[in-house]
Amino acid sequence: MYTLTYESVEAYDLTTDELKLLFETSNKKNIKENITGCLVYYHGRFIQLLEGDFENIIRLYDRIKVDERHTEVHLFSDDTISERAFPEWVMAYFPLDRNLIAENELQKFQSNLSVLSDLMAVDNLTARLFWRRVKFNVEQP
């Protein structure tokens, strides 16, 4: 089994509906290809860890690199793994209309992701780097 983690920046301001469609479509495709992982979308940045068969992961990553919604796609870790860190597909994002969100809700979201990244007991380097990057991004002003 193979895993990789990448980060990208949204190419344009994605609407809430576009994000929902992206997440729903991705889930359906990933289930069919037995791909699991975690996608965190926060302040216009995607950080994603993917797990599955090498060919399926590389094919998906190649599609992401040319997807018009992504820019600055950077792979920052990949590895062969014996078991999945995320046996179920999990996604987290903060609603785009930040003007309508109370500041304390944003702080709770940031805190929850930061704490979650500290609590995740993962045994592969790629998953550890994924959570470090998530924590770094949510703790930025």
1-30 CB burial, b ≥16 within 10 A, e <16: ebbbbbbbebeeebeeeebeebeeebeeeb
pLDDT tens for 59-103 read: 999 999 999 999 999 999 999 999 888 887 655 554 444 444 566
Expressed as residue numbers, the domain containing 37 is 2-138
Domain count, the chain: 1
Residue-wise pLDDT for 98-129, tens only, equals 444 566 666 666 666 555 555 566 677 888 88
At 100 the three-state DSSP class reads: helix
Q: Report DSSP state, residue 93.
A: E
Proportion of the chain above pLDDT 70, given as a percent: 75
Q: How far apart are CA 84 and CA 76, in angstroms?
A: 18
Which residues of the chain form beta strands (DSSP E)? 2-10, 36-42, 45-52, 70-80, 90-93
CATH code of the domain containing 124: 3.30.70.100
